[in-house]
Structure 1
Amino acid sequence: MFNNAAKYSQLIKAEALRLGFMACGISKADFLEEEAPRLETWLNNNRHGEMAYMENHFDKRLDPRLLVEGAKSVVSLTLNYFTPAKQLDSEAPKISKYAYGTDYHTVIKEKLKELLAFINDEIGEVSGRCFVDSAPVMDKAWAQKAGLGWRGKNANLISKDAGSFFFLAELIIDLELEYDKPFVADHCGSCTRCIDACPTDAIVAPYTVDGSKCISYLTIELKNEIPAEFKGKMENWMFGCDICQDVCPWNRFATPHQEPAFEPTHELLQLKKTELVDLTDEVFKQVFKGSAVKRTKFSGLKRNIDFLKPI
Protein backbone atom coordinates (compact mmCIF):
# COMPACT_ATOMS: atom_id res chain seq x y z
CA MET A 1 0.00 0.00 0.00
CA PHE A 2 2.86 2.40 0.75
CA ASN A 3 4.22 2.16 -2.79
CA ASN A 4 0.73 2.78 -4.13
CA ALA A 5 0.32 5.75 -1.78
CA ALA A 6 3.58 7.26 -3.06
CA LYS A 7 2.65 6.59 -6.69
CA TYR A 8 -0.87 8.01 -6.27
CA SER A 9 0.51 11.11 -4.55
CA GLN A 10 2.91 11.78 -7.44
CA LEU A 11 0.09 11.33 -9.96
CA ILE A 12 -2.16 13.77 -8.09
CA LYS A 13 0.59 16.39 -7.73
CA ALA A 14 1.55 16.16 -11.41
CA GLU A 15 -2.08 16.58 -12.49
CA ALA A 16 -2.55 19.52 -10.09
CA LEU A 17 0.37 21.33 -11.73
CA ARG A 18 -0.97 20.49 -15.19
CA LEU A 19 -4.31 22.06 -14.21
CA GLY A 20 -2.48 25.29 -13.36
CA PHE A 21 -2.13 25.04 -9.58
CA MET A 22 1.11 26.52 -8.30
CA ALA A 23 1.82 23.91 -5.63
CA CYS A 24 0.25 20.83 -4.09
CA GLY A 25 0.90 19.20 -0.72
CA ILE A 26 -0.80 16.37 1.11
CA SER A 27 -1.47 15.80 4.80
CA LYS A 28 -3.25 13.17 6.86
CA ALA A 29 -6.91 13.94 7.57
CA ASP A 30 -6.78 14.18 11.34
CA PHE A 31 -7.88 16.39 14.24
CA LEU A 32 -6.10 19.79 14.22
CA GLU A 33 -5.02 19.64 17.84
CA GLU A 34 -2.85 22.77 17.86
CA GLU A 35 -5.51 24.84 16.13
CA ALA A 36 -8.31 24.13 18.61
CA PRO A 37 -7.16 26.46 21.43
CA ARG A 38 -6.07 29.14 18.93
CA LEU A 39 -9.46 29.18 17.25
CA GLU A 40 -11.29 29.17 20.58
CA THR A 41 -9.27 32.13 21.88
CA TRP A 42 -9.73 34.07 18.62
CA LEU A 43 -13.51 33.58 18.76
CA ASN A 44 -13.73 34.33 22.48
CA ASN A 45 -11.94 37.64 21.85
CA ASN A 46 -14.52 38.50 19.17
CA ARG A 47 -11.84 38.82 16.50
CA HIS A 48 -14.40 37.64 13.95
CA GLY A 49 -16.62 40.72 14.23
CA GLU A 50 -20.00 40.09 12.60
CA MET A 51 -18.82 36.90 10.87
CA ALA A 52 -21.13 34.77 13.00
CA TYR A 53 -20.59 31.80 10.68
CA MET A 54 -17.07 31.49 12.14
CA GLU A 55 -18.69 30.27 15.38
CA ASN A 56 -20.57 27.52 13.57
CA HIS A 57 -19.29 23.98 13.01
CA PHE A 58 -16.40 24.35 15.47
CA ASP A 59 -15.77 20.59 15.47
CA LYS A 60 -15.93 20.33 11.68
CA ARG A 61 -13.37 23.13 11.32
CA LEU A 62 -10.92 21.06 13.31
CA ASP A 63 -11.64 17.58 11.96
CA PRO A 64 -12.06 16.95 8.19
CA ARG A 65 -13.40 13.46 8.91
CA LEU A 66 -16.62 15.16 10.02
CA LEU A 67 -16.88 16.81 6.58
CA VAL A 68 -16.07 13.73 4.49
CA GLU A 69 -16.94 10.31 5.86
CA GLY A 70 -13.89 8.07 6.01
CA ALA A 71 -11.55 10.92 5.02
CA LYS A 72 -7.90 9.87 4.93
CA SER A 73 -6.13 12.74 3.15
CA VAL A 74 -6.30 16.50 2.72
CA VAL A 75 -4.85 17.61 -0.60
CA SER A 76 -3.90 21.29 -0.26
CA LEU A 77 -3.39 23.44 -3.34
CA THR A 78 -2.26 26.97 -4.12
CA LEU A 79 -3.19 29.04 -7.18
CA ASN A 80 -1.27 32.19 -8.05
CA TYR A 81 -3.22 35.41 -8.65
CA PHE A 82 -0.41 37.98 -8.58
CA THR A 83 -0.50 40.59 -11.31
CA PRO A 84 1.60 43.70 -11.95
CA ALA A 85 -1.51 45.29 -13.55
CA LYS A 86 -2.88 48.33 -11.76
CA GLN A 87 -5.91 50.57 -11.94
CA LEU A 88 -4.93 53.41 -14.28
CA ASP A 89 -6.36 56.26 -12.22
CA SER A 90 -4.14 56.42 -9.13
CA GLU A 91 -6.84 58.39 -7.29
CA ALA A 92 -9.65 55.91 -7.98
CA PRO A 93 -10.93 53.79 -5.07
CA LYS A 94 -8.92 50.55 -5.06
CA ILE A 95 -9.76 46.89 -5.53
CA SER A 96 -7.67 44.01 -4.18
CA LYS A 97 -5.65 42.20 -6.87
CA TYR A 98 -7.44 38.93 -6.21
CA ALA A 99 -10.72 40.42 -7.50
CA TYR A 100 -9.44 41.79 -10.82
CA GLY A 101 -10.64 38.83 -12.88
CA THR A 102 -13.31 36.12 -12.76
CA ASP A 103 -14.48 35.11 -9.28
CA TYR A 104 -11.84 32.70 -7.95
CA HIS A 105 -14.50 30.45 -6.40
CA THR A 106 -15.75 29.59 -9.90
CA VAL A 107 -12.28 29.15 -11.43
CA ILE A 108 -10.84 26.99 -8.64
CA LYS A 109 -13.97 24.87 -8.16
CA GLU A 110 -13.74 23.80 -11.82
CA LYS A 111 -10.09 22.84 -11.43
CA LEU A 112 -10.82 20.87 -8.25
CA LYS A 113 -13.64 19.00 -9.96
CA GLU A 114 -11.26 18.09 -12.79
CA LEU A 115 -8.67 16.89 -10.29
CA LEU A 116 -11.23 14.75 -8.47
CA ALA A 117 -12.42 13.29 -11.78
CA PHE A 118 -8.80 12.51 -12.69
CA ILE A 119 -8.31 10.68 -9.38
CA ASN A 120 -11.42 8.60 -10.01
CA ASP A 121 -10.36 7.80 -13.59
CA GLU A 122 -6.70 7.01 -12.90
CA ILE A 123 -6.74 5.56 -9.39
CA GLY A 124 -10.24 4.24 -8.80
CA GLU A 125 -13.45 5.27 -7.13
CA VAL A 126 -12.69 7.82 -4.45
CA SER A 127 -15.16 9.80 -2.35
CA GLY A 128 -14.30 13.37 -1.60
CA ARG A 129 -15.30 17.01 -1.55
CA CYS A 130 -13.84 20.19 -3.03
CA PHE A 131 -13.36 23.26 -0.83
CA VAL A 132 -12.65 26.84 -1.85
CA ASP A 133 -12.93 29.28 1.01
CA SER A 134 -16.63 28.57 1.47
CA ALA A 135 -16.89 25.84 4.11
CA PRO A 136 -15.57 25.24 7.64
CA VAL A 137 -12.06 24.24 6.54
CA MET A 138 -8.95 25.81 8.08
CA ASP A 139 -7.11 26.11 4.82
CA LYS A 140 -3.98 27.83 6.13
CA ALA A 141 -3.49 25.19 8.82
CA TRP A 142 -3.82 22.40 6.25
CA ALA A 143 -1.51 24.12 3.77
CA GLN A 144 1.14 24.49 6.46
CA LYS A 145 0.72 20.83 7.47
CA ALA A 146 1.18 19.92 3.81
CA GLY A 147 4.49 21.80 3.68
CA LEU A 148 3.33 24.66 1.43
CA GLY A 149 4.49 27.53 3.63
CA TRP A 150 4.30 29.20 7.03
CA ARG A 151 1.81 31.64 8.50
CA GLY A 152 3.25 35.11 8.58
CA LYS A 153 2.72 37.85 11.14
CA ASN A 154 -0.22 39.06 9.02
CA ALA A 155 -1.71 35.52 9.39
CA ASN A 156 -1.40 34.88 5.64
CA LEU A 157 0.32 31.77 4.36
CA ILE A 158 3.72 32.68 2.89
CA SER A 159 5.82 30.62 0.50
CA LYS A 160 9.59 31.15 0.23
CA ASP A 161 9.31 30.66 -3.52
CA ALA A 162 6.22 32.70 -4.32
CA GLY A 163 5.30 35.11 -1.51
CA SER A 164 1.62 35.19 -0.56
CA PHE A 165 -0.47 36.35 -3.53
CA PHE A 166 -2.18 33.01 -4.02
CA PHE A 167 -5.47 31.30 -3.24
CA LEU A 168 -5.78 28.18 -1.09
CA ALA A 169 -8.04 25.23 -1.85
CA GLU A 170 -8.51 21.63 -0.68
CA LEU A 171 -9.69 18.22 -1.73
CA ILE A 172 -10.64 16.04 1.23
CA ILE A 173 -10.73 12.42 0.06
CA ASP A 174 -11.05 8.91 1.48
CA LEU A 175 -7.82 7.72 -0.15
CA GLU A 176 -4.65 7.04 1.80
CA LEU A 177 -1.68 8.87 0.32
CA GLU A 178 1.94 9.70 1.09
CA TYR A 179 2.04 12.69 3.43
CA ASP A 180 4.34 15.68 3.18
CA LYS A 181 6.24 17.06 6.13
CA PRO A 182 4.68 20.12 7.74
CA PHE A 183 6.37 23.49 7.27
CA VAL A 184 7.74 24.28 10.73
CA ALA A 185 10.22 27.11 10.09
CA ASP A 186 9.17 30.74 10.48
CA HIS A 187 10.92 33.03 8.02
CA CYS A 188 9.41 36.32 9.20
CA GLY A 189 12.26 36.86 11.65
CA SER A 190 12.20 40.27 13.33
CA CYS A 191 10.37 41.92 10.41
CA THR A 192 7.22 43.85 11.38
CA ARG A 193 6.48 45.62 8.09
CA CYS A 194 2.93 44.24 7.83
CA ILE A 195 2.11 45.23 11.41
CA ASP A 196 3.57 48.73 10.96
CA ALA A 197 1.82 49.33 7.62
CA CYS A 198 -1.72 48.31 8.59
CA PRO A 199 -3.66 51.60 8.75
CA THR A 200 -6.45 50.23 10.97
CA ASP A 201 -4.12 48.38 13.40
CA ALA A 202 -5.86 45.10 12.55
CA ILE A 203 -2.74 43.01 13.24
CA VAL A 204 -3.12 43.23 17.02
CA ALA A 205 -0.13 40.98 17.72
CA PRO A 206 2.28 39.03 15.54
CA TYR A 207 0.28 36.23 13.83
CA THR A 208 -3.05 37.55 15.18
CA VAL A 209 -5.48 39.59 13.07
CA ASP A 210 -8.56 41.21 14.55
CA GLY A 211 -10.92 40.54 11.66
CA SER A 212 -13.31 43.25 12.81
CA LYS A 213 -10.63 45.91 12.13
CA CYS A 214 -9.36 44.54 8.82
CA ILE A 215 -10.15 46.65 5.72
CA SER A 216 -11.06 43.48 3.81
CA TYR A 217 -13.64 42.66 6.48
CA LEU A 218 -14.96 46.23 6.62
CA THR A 219 -15.42 46.43 2.84
CA ILE A 220 -16.72 42.89 2.18
CA GLU A 221 -17.93 40.92 5.21
CA LEU A 222 -19.44 43.77 7.25
CA LYS A 223 -23.07 44.21 6.29
CA ASN A 224 -23.87 47.19 8.51
CA GLU A 225 -22.40 50.68 8.32
CA ILE A 226 -18.62 50.99 8.58
CA PRO A 227 -17.82 52.35 12.08
CA ALA A 228 -16.87 56.05 12.11
CA GLU A 229 -13.58 55.24 13.89
CA PHE A 230 -12.21 54.00 10.53
CA LYS A 231 -12.94 57.26 8.69
CA GLY A 232 -9.74 58.46 7.02
CA LYS A 233 -7.94 55.15 7.69
CA MET A 234 -9.08 53.07 4.70
CA GLU A 235 -6.29 54.27 2.35
CA ASN A 236 -8.80 54.44 -0.52
CA TRP A 237 -9.65 50.71 -0.57
CA MET A 238 -13.22 50.04 -1.69
CA PHE A 239 -12.99 46.23 -1.97
CA GLY A 240 -10.44 44.21 -0.02
CA CYS A 241 -6.93 45.38 0.82
CA ASP A 242 -3.41 44.36 -0.24
CA ILE A 243 -1.35 46.54 2.10
CA CYS A 244 0.11 43.83 4.38
CA GLN A 245 1.04 41.76 1.32
CA ASP A 246 2.40 44.67 -0.73
CA VAL A 247 4.89 45.52 2.03
CA CYS A 248 5.94 41.90 2.72
CA PRO A 249 9.56 41.33 1.58
CA TRP A 250 8.73 37.77 0.51
CA ASN A 251 6.46 39.11 -2.22
CA ARG A 252 9.50 40.20 -4.18
CA PHE A 253 9.40 36.57 -5.33
CA ALA A 254 5.81 36.84 -6.59
CA THR A 255 5.57 36.26 -10.35
CA PRO A 256 2.64 37.07 -12.67
CA HIS A 257 -0.06 34.39 -12.74
CA GLN A 258 -0.71 32.32 -15.87
CA GLU A 259 -4.49 32.01 -15.41
CA PRO A 260 -6.42 33.70 -18.28
CA ALA A 261 -9.59 33.87 -16.15
CA PHE A 262 -7.82 36.15 -13.67
CA GLU A 263 -6.87 38.74 -16.30
CA PRO A 264 -8.49 42.08 -15.46
CA THR A 265 -10.82 43.67 -17.99
CA HIS A 266 -9.81 47.01 -19.51
CA GLU A 267 -13.14 48.39 -18.30
CA LEU A 268 -12.19 47.70 -14.70
CA LEU A 269 -8.65 49.06 -14.90
CA GLN A 270 -9.78 52.19 -16.75
CA LEU A 271 -12.48 53.19 -14.27
CA LYS A 272 -11.83 56.76 -13.20
CA LYS A 273 -12.38 58.13 -9.72
CA THR A 274 -15.34 60.21 -10.93
CA GLU A 275 -16.98 57.16 -12.53
CA LEU A 276 -16.68 55.20 -9.29
CA VAL A 277 -17.91 58.05 -7.11
CA ASP A 278 -20.97 58.32 -9.39
CA LEU A 279 -21.27 54.54 -9.86
CA THR A 280 -24.65 53.31 -11.07
CA ASP A 281 -26.17 49.86 -10.67
CA GLU A 282 -26.01 49.43 -14.45
CA VAL A 283 -22.26 50.11 -14.62
CA PHE A 284 -21.69 47.91 -11.55
CA LYS A 285 -23.41 44.95 -13.26
CA GLN A 286 -21.51 45.54 -16.48
CA VAL A 287 -17.99 45.99 -15.07
CA PHE A 288 -18.15 43.44 -12.25
CA LYS A 289 -20.07 40.69 -14.03
CA GLY A 290 -18.62 37.34 -12.92
CA SER A 291 -16.28 39.09 -10.45
CA ALA A 292 -15.79 38.45 -6.73
CA VAL A 293 -16.71 42.13 -6.23
CA LYS A 294 -20.35 41.12 -6.73
CA ARG A 295 -20.22 39.73 -3.18
CA THR A 296 -20.67 43.23 -1.81
CA LYS A 297 -23.63 43.90 -4.13
CA PHE A 298 -24.05 47.37 -5.61
CA SER A 299 -25.32 48.81 -2.33
CA GLY A 300 -22.27 47.52 -0.41
CA LEU A 301 -19.74 48.87 -2.90
CA LYS A 302 -21.55 52.22 -2.99
CA ARG A 303 -21.45 52.32 0.83
CA ASN A 304 -17.69 51.71 0.74
CA ILE A 305 -17.05 54.40 -1.90
CA ASP A 306 -19.18 56.93 -0.02
CA PHE A 307 -17.29 56.14 3.20
CA LEU A 308 -14.00 57.04 1.47
CA LYS A 309 -15.16 60.57 0.70
CA PRO A 310 -13.49 63.23 2.85
CA ILE A 311 -15.64 64.71 5.59
Structure 2
Amino acid sequence: MMYQIKDWQDLTIQDDYMFKLIMSRKRICKKMLEKILRISIDDLVYIEDEKSMKASYDSKGVRLDVYVKDDKHTVYNIEMQVRKPENEGLYKRTRYYQSMIDGDLLKAGVDYDELNPTYIIFICPFEPFHEGRHMYTFRNYCTEDKDIELQDGTVKLFLNTKGTMDDVEPDVKAFLEYVDGVMSPDDFVQEIDEAIRNVKMQESERVRYMTYTLKLKEERKIGHEAGFREGMEKGMEKGMEKGLEKGLQKGTQKGKLETALKMLKDGVAVEKIAKYTGLSPDMITALKQ
Protein backbone atom coordinates (compact mmCIF):
# COMPACT_ATOMS: atom_id res chain seq x y z
CA MET A 1 0.00 0.00 0.00
CA MET A 2 1.34 3.44 -0.96
CA TYR A 3 2.08 5.68 2.01
CA GLN A 4 -0.10 8.79 1.94
CA ILE A 5 1.80 12.08 2.11
CA LYS A 6 0.07 14.46 4.53
CA ASP A 7 -0.81 18.09 4.03
CA TRP A 8 1.48 20.55 5.83
CA GLN A 9 -1.16 21.63 8.36
CA ASP A 10 -1.96 17.99 9.25
CA LEU A 11 1.57 17.05 10.33
CA THR A 12 2.14 16.05 13.98
CA ILE A 13 5.17 15.13 16.08
CA GLN A 14 4.61 11.53 14.98
CA ASP A 15 5.34 12.41 11.36
CA ASP A 16 8.96 11.89 10.42
CA TYR A 17 9.37 15.30 8.76
CA MET A 18 7.93 17.27 11.68
CA PHE A 19 9.78 15.19 14.27
CA LYS A 20 13.13 15.98 12.63
CA LEU A 21 12.19 19.64 12.30
CA ILE A 22 11.17 20.07 15.94
CA MET A 23 14.11 18.07 17.27
CA SER A 24 16.43 20.40 15.37
CA ARG A 25 15.54 22.88 18.14
CA LYS A 26 18.42 22.21 20.53
CA ARG A 27 16.44 23.23 23.62
CA ILE A 28 13.66 20.73 22.88
CA CYS A 29 15.98 17.87 21.90
CA LYS A 30 18.16 18.43 24.98
CA LYS A 31 15.17 18.57 27.30
CA MET A 32 13.68 15.40 25.83
CA LEU A 33 16.90 13.44 26.37
CA GLU A 34 17.23 14.75 29.91
CA LYS A 35 13.68 13.68 30.78
CA ILE A 36 13.89 10.25 29.16
CA LEU A 37 17.32 9.32 30.54
CA ARG A 38 17.10 11.29 33.81
CA ILE A 39 20.46 12.96 33.17
CA SER A 40 21.77 16.50 32.94
CA ILE A 41 23.21 17.73 29.64
CA ASP A 42 25.12 21.01 29.39
CA ASP A 43 25.16 21.21 25.61
CA LEU A 44 24.35 19.28 22.43
CA VAL A 45 26.10 19.30 19.07
CA TYR A 46 24.30 18.19 15.93
CA ILE A 47 26.86 15.88 14.33
CA GLU A 48 25.17 16.45 10.98
CA ASP A 49 21.61 17.38 10.12
CA GLU A 50 19.74 14.34 8.85
CA LYS A 51 23.01 12.41 8.90
CA SER A 52 23.30 10.02 6.00
CA MET A 53 25.89 7.27 6.24
CA LYS A 54 26.93 4.75 3.63
CA ALA A 55 29.45 1.97 4.22
CA SER A 56 32.37 1.76 1.81
CA TYR A 57 31.04 -1.55 0.56
CA ASP A 58 27.79 -1.92 -1.36
CA SER A 59 25.17 -1.90 1.38
CA LYS A 60 21.95 -0.25 2.44
CA GLY A 61 22.46 3.35 3.52
CA VAL A 62 21.19 4.71 6.82
CA ARG A 63 19.45 8.05 7.22
CA LEU A 64 19.21 9.05 10.86
CA ASP A 65 16.39 11.22 12.22
CA VAL A 66 18.32 12.90 15.04
CA TYR A 67 22.07 12.41 15.51
CA VAL A 68 23.64 14.46 18.31
CA LYS A 69 26.53 14.44 20.78
CA ASP A 70 26.55 15.92 24.27
CA ASP A 71 29.30 17.71 26.20
CA LYS A 72 30.49 14.35 27.63
CA HIS A 73 30.90 12.96 24.09
CA THR A 74 27.97 10.58 24.39
CA VAL A 75 26.29 10.09 21.01
CA TYR A 76 22.51 9.85 20.68
CA ASN A 77 20.48 8.59 17.73
CA ILE A 78 16.74 9.25 18.16
CA GLU A 79 14.23 7.75 15.73
CA MET A 80 10.46 8.13 15.36
CA GLN A 81 9.61 4.56 14.36
CA VAL A 82 5.95 4.80 13.36
CA ARG A 83 5.57 1.43 11.65
CA LYS A 84 6.69 -1.91 13.04
CA PRO A 85 8.68 -3.89 10.48
CA GLU A 86 7.76 -7.54 9.98
CA ASN A 87 9.28 -10.28 12.14
CA GLU A 88 12.49 -9.13 13.87
CA GLY A 89 13.18 -6.16 11.60
CA LEU A 90 12.67 -3.57 14.34
CA TYR A 91 15.21 -5.11 16.69
CA LYS A 92 17.82 -5.88 14.05
CA ARG A 93 17.54 -2.33 12.77
CA THR A 94 19.16 -1.14 16.02
CA ARG A 95 22.03 -3.55 15.37
CA TYR A 96 22.56 -2.11 11.91
CA TYR A 97 22.29 1.49 13.13
CA GLN A 98 24.87 0.74 15.82
CA SER A 99 27.31 -0.68 13.28
CA MET A 100 26.92 2.34 11.00
CA ILE A 101 27.35 4.82 13.87
CA ASP A 102 30.48 3.02 15.08
CA GLY A 103 31.83 2.95 11.53
CA ASP A 104 31.16 6.67 11.18
CA LEU A 105 32.96 7.43 14.46
CA LEU A 106 35.95 5.31 13.46
CA LYS A 107 36.17 7.07 10.11
CA ALA A 108 36.27 10.35 12.04
CA GLY A 109 39.55 9.21 13.61
CA VAL A 110 38.38 7.60 16.88
CA ASP A 111 40.36 4.53 17.94
CA TYR A 112 38.13 1.50 18.56
CA ASP A 113 38.93 1.37 22.28
CA GLU A 114 37.88 5.03 22.56
CA LEU A 115 34.52 4.69 20.81
CA ASN A 116 31.92 7.10 22.20
CA PRO A 117 29.15 5.82 24.46
CA THR A 118 26.02 5.57 22.31
CA TYR A 119 22.27 5.53 22.82
CA ILE A 120 19.91 4.39 20.08
CA ILE A 121 16.40 5.50 21.03
CA PHE A 122 13.29 4.38 19.14
CA ILE A 123 9.99 6.13 19.86
CA CYS A 124 7.25 3.67 18.95
CA PRO A 125 3.49 4.43 18.72
CA PHE A 126 2.95 0.67 19.02
CA GLU A 127 3.81 -2.03 21.57
CA PRO A 128 7.21 -3.44 20.55
CA PHE A 129 7.47 -6.27 23.11
CA HIS A 130 3.89 -6.79 24.37
CA GLU A 131 4.80 -6.41 28.05
CA GLY A 132 2.98 -3.14 28.77
CA ARG A 133 6.09 -1.10 29.57
CA HIS A 134 6.56 2.49 28.47
CA MET A 135 10.31 1.97 28.29
CA TYR A 136 12.46 -1.02 27.37
CA THR A 137 16.21 -0.54 27.93
CA PHE A 138 18.74 -3.02 26.57
CA ARG A 139 22.38 -3.42 27.55
CA ASN A 140 24.72 -6.39 27.07
CA TYR A 141 24.96 -8.74 30.05
CA CYS A 142 26.62 -12.09 30.68
CA THR A 143 24.11 -14.92 30.24
CA GLU A 144 25.60 -16.90 33.11
CA ASP A 145 25.83 -13.96 35.51
CA LYS A 146 23.50 -11.01 34.94
CA ASP A 147 25.57 -8.92 37.39
CA ILE A 148 28.35 -8.79 34.78
CA GLU A 149 27.75 -6.12 32.18
CA LEU A 150 29.77 -5.97 28.98
CA GLN A 151 31.21 -2.47 29.13
CA ASP A 152 30.86 -1.76 25.42
CA GLY A 153 29.17 1.61 25.96
CA THR A 154 26.04 0.82 23.92
CA VAL A 155 22.41 1.17 24.97
CA LYS A 156 19.26 0.50 22.92
CA LEU A 157 16.07 2.03 24.26
CA PHE A 158 12.51 1.59 23.01
CA LEU A 159 9.84 4.05 24.16
CA ASN A 160 6.28 2.75 23.85
CA THR A 161 3.29 5.13 23.67
CA LYS A 162 0.92 2.20 24.38
CA GLY A 163 2.45 1.32 27.75
CA THR A 164 0.15 0.53 30.66
CA MET A 165 2.59 0.15 33.57
CA ASP A 166 3.45 2.87 36.07
CA ASP A 167 7.12 2.64 35.09
CA VAL A 168 8.11 6.15 33.97
CA GLU A 169 7.93 9.65 35.40
CA PRO A 170 4.76 11.66 34.69
CA ASP A 171 6.53 14.05 32.30
CA VAL A 172 7.81 11.15 30.16
CA LYS A 173 4.37 9.57 30.14
CA ALA A 174 2.84 12.91 29.12
CA PHE A 175 5.32 13.19 26.24
CA LEU A 176 4.51 9.66 25.02
CA GLU A 177 0.79 10.38 25.25
CA TYR A 178 1.36 13.54 23.20
CA VAL A 179 3.09 11.47 20.51
CA ASP A 180 -0.12 9.43 20.48
CA GLY A 181 -2.19 12.59 20.01
CA VAL A 182 -3.26 13.25 23.62
CA MET A 183 -2.78 16.84 24.79
CA SER A 184 -1.93 17.63 28.42
CA PRO A 185 -0.98 20.66 30.57
CA ASP A 186 2.57 19.30 30.96
CA ASP A 187 5.07 22.15 30.35
CA PHE A 188 7.24 20.19 27.93
CA VAL A 189 4.26 18.98 25.94
CA GLN A 190 2.98 22.54 25.74
CA GLU A 191 6.40 23.73 24.56
CA ILE A 192 6.55 21.14 21.76
CA ASP A 193 2.98 21.83 20.67
CA GLU A 194 3.61 25.56 20.55
CA ALA A 195 6.77 24.98 18.49
CA ILE A 196 4.78 22.92 15.99
CA ARG A 197 2.05 25.56 15.75
CA ASN A 198 4.64 28.29 15.20
CA VAL A 199 6.54 26.39 12.53
CA LYS A 200 3.32 25.72 10.63
CA MET A 201 2.80 29.48 10.36
CA GLN A 202 6.17 29.94 8.64
CA GLU A 203 5.71 30.17 4.89
CA SER A 204 9.36 29.24 4.25
CA GLU A 205 8.93 25.96 6.12
CA ARG A 206 5.72 25.17 4.28
CA VAL A 207 7.50 25.72 0.95
CA ARG A 208 10.37 23.46 2.05
CA TYR A 209 7.90 20.73 2.91
CA MET A 210 6.13 21.11 -0.44
CA THR A 211 9.47 20.81 -2.23
CA TYR A 212 10.30 17.74 -0.15
CA THR A 213 6.98 16.05 -0.94
CA LEU A 214 7.26 16.78 -4.65
CA LYS A 215 10.71 15.21 -4.71
CA LEU A 216 9.46 12.25 -2.70
CA LYS A 217 6.52 11.70 -5.04
CA GLU A 218 8.78 11.83 -8.08
CA GLU A 219 11.17 9.31 -6.56
CA ARG A 220 8.29 6.99 -5.72
CA LYS A 221 6.84 7.36 -9.20
CA ILE A 222 10.15 6.47 -10.82
CA GLY A 223 10.59 3.53 -8.46
CA HIS A 224 7.04 2.33 -9.05
CA GLU A 225 7.38 2.46 -12.83
CA ALA A 226 10.74 0.69 -12.77
CA GLY A 227 9.43 -1.96 -10.41
CA PHE A 228 6.28 -2.48 -12.46
CA ARG A 229 8.23 -2.81 -15.70
CA GLU A 230 10.66 -5.27 -14.14
CA GLY A 231 7.81 -7.24 -12.61
CA MET A 232 6.00 -7.47 -15.93
CA GLU A 233 9.12 -8.72 -17.67
CA LYS A 234 9.80 -11.31 -14.98
CA GLY A 235 6.15 -12.33 -15.02
CA MET A 236 6.29 -13.00 -18.75
CA GLU A 237 9.51 -14.95 -18.35
CA LYS A 238 7.76 -17.22 -15.85
CA GLY A 239 4.67 -17.66 -17.99
CA MET A 240 2.44 -15.45 -15.85
CA GLU A 241 1.08 -13.51 -18.80
CA LYS A 242 -0.78 -15.97 -20.99
CA GLY A 243 -0.67 -15.46 -24.72
CA LEU A 244 2.36 -13.17 -24.61
CA GLU A 245 5.21 -15.55 -24.03
CA LYS A 246 4.39 -17.98 -26.80
CA GLY A 247 6.32 -17.34 -29.99
CA LEU A 248 8.00 -14.19 -28.62
CA GLN A 249 11.63 -13.76 -27.80
CA LYS A 250 12.58 -11.98 -24.60
CA GLY A 251 13.96 -8.95 -26.44
CA THR A 252 10.80 -8.64 -28.52
CA GLN A 253 8.63 -8.85 -25.43
CA LYS A 254 10.53 -6.04 -23.74
CA GLY A 255 10.45 -3.92 -26.88
CA LYS A 256 6.69 -4.30 -27.29
CA LEU A 257 6.06 -3.35 -23.66
CA GLU A 258 8.24 -0.27 -23.92
CA THR A 259 6.54 0.73 -27.17
CA ALA A 260 3.13 0.29 -25.58
CA LEU A 261 4.14 2.39 -22.58
CA LYS A 262 5.35 5.20 -24.82
CA MET A 263 2.14 5.12 -26.88
CA LEU A 264 0.04 5.19 -23.71
CA LYS A 265 1.93 8.26 -22.49
CA ASP A 266 1.18 9.90 -25.85
CA GLY A 267 -2.53 9.23 -25.39
CA VAL A 268 -2.89 6.57 -28.09
CA ALA A 269 -6.03 4.45 -27.76
CA VAL A 270 -5.73 0.93 -26.36
CA GLU A 271 -7.17 -0.65 -29.52
CA LYS A 272 -4.62 1.06 -31.76
CA ILE A 273 -1.73 0.05 -29.47
CA ALA A 274 -2.94 -3.55 -29.61
CA LYS A 275 -3.02 -3.39 -33.40
CA TYR A 276 0.54 -2.14 -33.79
CA THR A 277 2.23 -4.10 -30.96
CA GLY A 278 0.34 -7.36 -31.00
CA LEU A 279 -0.27 -7.10 -27.27
CA SER A 280 -3.70 -8.00 -25.93
CA PRO A 281 -6.05 -5.17 -24.88
CA ASP A 282 -6.09 -6.65 -21.35
CA MET A 283 -2.29 -6.39 -21.14
CA ILE A 284 -2.34 -2.80 -22.39
CA THR A 285 -5.08 -1.89 -19.93
CA ALA A 286 -2.95 -3.38 -17.13
CA LEU A 287 0.00 -1.28 -18.28
CA LYS A 288 -2.20 1.81 -18.36
CA GLN A 289 -3.37 1.25 -14.80
| Same structural fold, with TM-score higher than 0.5 when normalized by the shorter chain | no
TM range, smaller chain: under 0.3
Could you tell me the TM-score, scaled by structure 2's length?
0.24
Could you tell me the TM-score, scaled by structure 1's length?
0.22
Higher share of residues assigned helix: 2
Flag the structure with larger Rg: 2
Q: Relative contact order (C-alpha < 8 Å, sep 6+): which is higher?
A: 1
